[in-house]
Structure 1
Amino acid sequence: MCWVVPAGAPVVRVGELARDAVLSRKGLPIPGPGLRIAVPVPSERLQNLVELARTVSGQPVTAINIITEDLQYQVASAGMEPYVCSREDSMCAVGFLNGTSTVLEDASLDPRYSSNPYVDGTRGAVRFYASVPLVSDDGFVLGTLCAGAREPGQLSDRQRQGLEILAAEVVEALALERRARELASALTEAQRSNTLLAEFAGRISHDLRNPLTSILGYVELSQAEAQNTPDANIAQYLDVVAGSGQRMLDMVEDVLAYATVGGDVRPVPLSLTALVSEVLQDLDASLEASSAVVDCDDLSFSADPVQMRVLLQNLIHNSVAYCRPGVPPVIRVTGQRRDGSVAVRVIDNGKGISESDRERVLDPLVRLHREGDPPGTGLGLATCARIAAAAGGRLEIGPASGPGTVVTIHLGSDS
């Protein structure tokens, strides 16, 4: 007796010549040289599912079979040791692509199976046989969940439905395990990248610090000599250079330390106006050239001073660099505290960023390539977003009330 029950999911019957490639993309082993295959050790979840299938079906043997272009192998089994056989000898390969559940009271009476080596006594003497296709979300049939016995038997409708439910769970478990392996691989790659970044930071620290130290040394000597000159502007210029150089040296030290230790954020009490004042001094030349106007509200908050300065410098620089032709930049920096959180906003009257681009410009190396835009690396906003995330916050881009952009840095418990 044979019950053929329609499966609930569509089935892909084309592309069988590329079957191994599809299985590989789904994270399942494929045959190696000489048709050898490394059968994975079953996970606890898959083993529990195949044991549950044995209980539900009431049969002594159950298995989760993956069928490749040439082979069949088990990723989990109950009541027998997993084995590998050719697809030609596989019972499950006979009709698994039909997308239907099959139940045979006695496989030896069915002409499709009677001469199979696992039925005719060559390798086994299976009588009762049931299988449910394992159909992935895209309709590709991975293999089967099967149950068998040496004696004829039956399944009730409830038992058959139980096996079909378990087959769907097997497909989900296989997909989850693939995603878990991909995440583990991505984590390993991220750790490797972080190690390389730390090594790179260590190598360049000497090359970055020494020139800055040398510059500051000559500035100090020039400041001493400038005391004997009647031109007061020279001393003022040297003070600006010394201040900017020292902050750059501090920034190099702290950013390198940040890269080396994986993000050592050291928050201290800060004044927003004091931070912006230092940034404006560093950007004085570009601000003057563009006739930019910068206004800032004061706010006391806690953050890492070097990283926050880098963030504000990037944002204010962007507001100047991406201004509208013929329109002097007007930039307003505001801060707001609410319910234990802080929001710092940089608002400009520049070109703005379209809604469709506001997420992707936070990714590294993404640039919009608009007409008239200055050259750049596409790392500025990505760096700002990373600094906000390292502080436990987030960066958000939105439209201004008129032309321009509002960039908000959320810090604190509500971020």
Structure 2
Amino acid sequence: MARTLVAPTALGDPIGRDQLLQEYGLASPTGEGLLVAGAEQSMEPLQNLVALAAKLCGVPYGVINVVTSDEQRQVAAVGFEAAVCSRQDSMCAKVFLAGETTVVTDASLDPRFAANPFVTGEIAAVRFYASVPLETASGFVLGSLCVFSDSRAVPDADQLDMLEILARQAVQLLELQRRTLQLNSALHEVRESNAKLAEFAGRVSHDLRGPLTTILGYVEMGEDDPGVDSTHPAAEYFQLIGASGHRMLAMLQDVLKYSSVGGAIQRQRASLQTVAGEVAHDLGLSFGPGSVLDSDDLKLQVDPGQLRILLQNLVANAINYPSPDRELEVRISGMSNYHGTTVLVADNGKGIAPEDRQRVLEPLVRLHREGDGQGSGLGLATCRRIAEAHGGELSLKETPGGGTTVVISFPAEH
């Protein structure tokens, strides 16, 4: 008895089978076990799915078999301990690429399986056997969902329909595992890249700050020379060189800060009000109700050092881009629920036009508006990087009455 699933021409057994199985965490380069330990976490739902398949078909045994180039690996099994056997001994390996569901009432009477060690009693004594290919959307067949018994059985059409549905569910679980492994791999690469970027930026910053500091030292000596007064032609040159040198030092510091944040996050319980007070002290601002900077008291699980950098950058931006029509005010507030914490930093400065709000979050982007203060274009990019390193997001909106409100979400840890 056979039930066609897809055309056989859509299937195949590619040369790179083991490499593709590695992407699903179902094979390792050494051929020993799963690709990564994290892949084992998805085995429990597969185990439950196999148990349901066996129960629906009224048989004691069920298994998800993955077929490599030379082995059959039982990644989830019910009624017996999962094991590994050679592909040559596998029953599923003989039919999983056929493009159809295989149903055998008595395997000992089927010429494909009569001499198989799972049938003869050498390994087992299978009689009833049903196997559904685990085919992905791309046409790659991972293996099969199989149910069997040591006695004869005849499943009805509804049971076989459910078995095929469960096979598709198994493929979806394995696809989810594949995407998770790909995401983890990409995250690992990003973290390695960030670490290398921080190391490189540190070296470059150190190598460039030395000559710059020397140049600025000689500039100061020249400015202090008794023969160079304000009317001397060199005075203007010293002033231009000094201003450019200090801007370069500030830029180097911003690049170093941008490259170093968002690496290893050390979450701790932190007080938003305490960190905001430290930022006010660093920037020389009055703090508290009725002052330039005010903050709610909120407890959140973040990296305190990076939260301080984030708030300091945002408050410094408010200082650099004030409104000419009103005294500067910055208000920091927040709210928490089971989803996480949202922090809002609202100023009453000149604001940012809606069409520019996404663009200014990119590194080295400045608007160059009349009256704007000096900046490297890395402040908001650094803040967004800190938010994303915590698994959150950063966005900009308009403050009621004028100005910019920065919204930072920090999701809850699970």
Do they superpose with TM above 0.5?
yes
Residues 261, 155 of structure 1: alpha-carbon distance in 2 compared, 3 angstrom cutoff: same
Aligned counterparts of 2:380 and 2:112: Cα–Cα separation in 1: 62
Aligned to 1:108: 108
Please say if 1:268 is aligned against 2:315: yes
Residue pairs, 1:112-131, within 5 angstroms: 112-131=112-131
Letter in 2 for 1:110: D
Aligned to 1:92: 92
Aligned to 1:29: 27
- Check conservation: 1:12, 1:141, Cα contact below 8 A: no
Secondary structure in structure 2 of the residue aligned to 1:97 = coil
Aligned to 1:219: 219
- Check conservation: 1:133, 1:167, Cα contact below 8 A: yes
Aligned counterparts of 2:193 and 2:249: Cα–Cα separation in 1: 25
Q: CA deviation at 1:345?
A: 9.6
- Over the matched positions of the two proteins, sequence identity in percent amounts to 41
Residue pairs, 1:184-263, within 5 angstroms: 184-225=184-225, 228-229=228-229, 231=231, 233-262=233-262
Q: CA deviation at 1:4?
A: 0.7
Aligned counterparts of 1:250 and 1:97: Cα–Cα separation in 2: 64
Q: Structure 1 regions of 5+ residues with no counterpart? A: 277-296, 303-334, 348-361, 365-380, 396-409
Residue pairs, 1:291-302, within 5 angstroms: none
Aligned counterparts of 1:16 and 1:152: Cα–Cα separation in 2: 35
Bigger shift: residues 79-88 or 9-18? 9-18
Aligned to 1:7: 5
Aligned counterparts of 1:27 and 1:413: Cα–Cα separation in 2: 38
Q: CA deviation at 1:191?
A: 2.1
Please say if 1:412 is aligned against 2:410: no
Aligned counterparts of 1:270 and 1:16: Cα–Cα separation in 2: 57
Aligned counterparts of 2:108 and 2:121: Cα–Cα separation in 1: 10
Bigger shift: residues 137-146 or 200-209? 200-209
Secondary structure in structure 1 of the residue aligned to 2:75 = strand
1:2-56 Cα offsets, whole Å, 9 max, x none, are: x211115775444544433443455431684xxx642575622222222222222
Q: CA deviation at 1:247?
A: 2.4
Residue pairs, 1:25-174, within 5 angstroms: 25-29=23-27, 32=30, 37-38=32-33, 41=40, 43-174=43-174
The alignment of Structure 1 onto Structure 2 pairs a total of residues equal to 314
1:107-144 Cα offsets, whole Å, 9 max, x none, are: 22222222222112222111111110010111111111
Q: Structure 2 regions of 5+ residues with no counterpart? A: 263-305, 331-349, 365-375, 387-392, 397-403, 410-414
Please say if 1:20 is aligned against 2:18: yes
Q: CA deviation at 1:206?
A: 3.2
Aligned counterparts of 1:235 and 1:148: Cα–Cα separation in 2: 93
Secondary structure in structure 1 of the residue aligned to 2:152 = coil
- Check conservation: 2:13, 2:97, Cα contact below 8 A: no
Letter in 2 for 1:6: T
Residues 77, 234 of structure 1: alpha-carbon distance in 2 compared, 3 angstrom cutoff: same
Residues 298, 90 of structure 1: alpha-carbon distance in 2 compared, 3 angstrom cutoff: farther
Letter in 2 for 1:64: I
- Check conservation: 2:22, 2:29, Cα contact below 8 A: no
Q: CA deviation at 1:81?
A: 0.8
Aligned to 2:339: none
Letter in 2 for 1:412: V
Secondary structure in structure 2 of the residue aligned to 1:82 = coil
- Check conservation: 2:395, 2:407, Cα contact below 8 A: no
Residues 165, 412 of structure 1: alpha-carbon distance in 2 compared, 3 angstrom cutoff: same
Q: CA deviation at 1:414?
A: 11
- Check conservation: 1:385, 1:394, Cα contact below 8 A: no
Aligned counterparts of 2:235 and 2:358: Cα–Cα separation in 1: 35
Aligned counterparts of 1:363 and 1:119: Cα–Cα separation in 2: 65
Residue pairs, 1:319-398, within 5 angstroms: 336-337=351-352, 343=356, 386-387=381-382, 389-390=384-385
Aligned counterparts of 2:28 and 2:260: Cα–Cα separation in 1: 41
Residues 382, 176 of structure 1: alpha-carbon distance in 2 compared, 3 angstrom cutoff: farther
Residues 390, 112 of structure 1: alpha-carbon distance in 2 compared, 3 angstrom cutoff: closer
Aligned counterparts of 1:177 and 1:249: Cα–Cα separation in 2: 47
Q: CA deviation at 1:146?
A: 0.1
- Check conservation: 1:132, 1:167, Cα contact below 8 A: yes
Aligned counterparts of 1:205 and 1:6: Cα–Cα separation in 2: 65
Residues 219, 16 of structure 1: alpha-carbon distance in 2 compared, 3 angstrom cutoff: closer
Secondary structure in structure 2 of the residue aligned to 1:43 = helix
- Check conservation: 2:223, 2:238, Cα contact below 8 A: yes
Letter in 1 for 2:220: E
Q: CA deviation at 1:382?
A: 11
Q: CA deviation at 1:190?
A: 2.2
- Check conservation: 2:22, 2:28, Cα contact below 8 A: yes
Aligned counterparts of 1:77 and 1:128: Cα–Cα separation in 2: 17
